[in-house]
A and B are shown apart, each in its own frame.
Chain A
Amino acid sequence: DAGVTQSPTHLIKTRGQQVTLRCSPKSGHDTVSWYQQALGQGPQFIFQYYEEEERQRGNFPDRFSGHQFPNYSSELNVNALLLGDSALYLCASSWTGRAQFFGPGTRLTVL
């Protein structure tokens, strides 16, 4: 049973560029959430997708957007990258079970 997968593993971008991160949920899961984890901090919730719609959103600007596809996979897009967007981006999936299961993350570096 494949767990949550994310791609790419690492990414280096420059300020002002745009980036797309991808996530495939655990088999049987229909809800995907994205989190940003800055160095030395706990993860911060960005948004959640269910039935191809954004259902919840954390305190992140509109530069952060997402999408969920019919197969439940999801993308996170960040426009006009800032140095402060450098972080580990974690995707988590869930169903009606109790826990959210996380992927290995994408480490984004903005230069």
Chain B
Amino acid sequence: AQKITQTQPGMFVQEKEAVTLDCTYDTSDPSYGLFWYKQPSSGEMIFLIYQGSYDQQNATEGRYSLNFQKARKSANLVISASQLGDSAMYFCAMREGENAGNMLTFGGGTRLMVKP
């Protein structure tokens, strides 16, 4: 079974509008971390935001926020006020256990395209 599922292969958003990228996960480990990474065409994976399984509040980092719904096992990324530079692939990933170096399991990604 897929551990990380991203159901939106591609999405368009108008510049300056907000967009939500979906991610669902599957794990039986009570301790886990959820991550979002951005991958521009250059290839580098850029860390955006992290949510721990025990965190009480949804994570926020600037224009990025993570809508964490533990019971539904979803961790959607919300980007507010989209910019042209936000056009890229976005990957949701999960780490099981508490060790920061534990393997990350990635979803298939969502390609976001921001329209001017």
A-B contact count (CB 8 A): 67
Which residue of the partner chain A has the closest CB to B102?
Answer: A56
Fill in one digit per residue for A16-46: 1 if any B CB lies within 8 Å of its CB, else 0. 0000000000000001010100000111110
In the bound complex, residues from chain B placing their C-beta under 8 Å from that of A92 are: 45, 104
Which residues of chain B are near A45, meaning CB under 8 Å?
Answer: 103-105
Contact indicator A50/B101 (Cβ below 8 Å): yes
Inter-chain contact A94/B44, CB cutoff 8 Å = no
Q: Give B94-116 interface residues, CB cut-off 8 Å to A.
A: 100-109
Q: Is the interface of A mostly helix, strand, loop or mixed?
A: strand
Chain A CB within 8 A of B42 CB: yes
Interface size on A, residues (CB 8 A): 29
**Once the chains bind, are A98 and B52 in contact (CB under 8 Å)?**
yes
Option from B42, B50, B100, B106 in Cβ contact (under 8 Å) with A43: B106
The dominant DSSP class at the B interface is strand
Q: Contacts A42-B91, A42-B108: A104 and B101 contacting too (C-beta < 8 A)?
A: no
Chain B residues with CB below 8 A from A88, complex form: 43
How many angstroms from the CA of A86 to the CA of B43 in the assembled complex?
15
A sample of 8 more A-B contacts (CB under 8 A), given A48-B103, A56-B103, A88-B43, is A41-B109, A43-B104, A92-B104, A95-B100, A102-B44, A103-B44, A104-B43, A107-B43
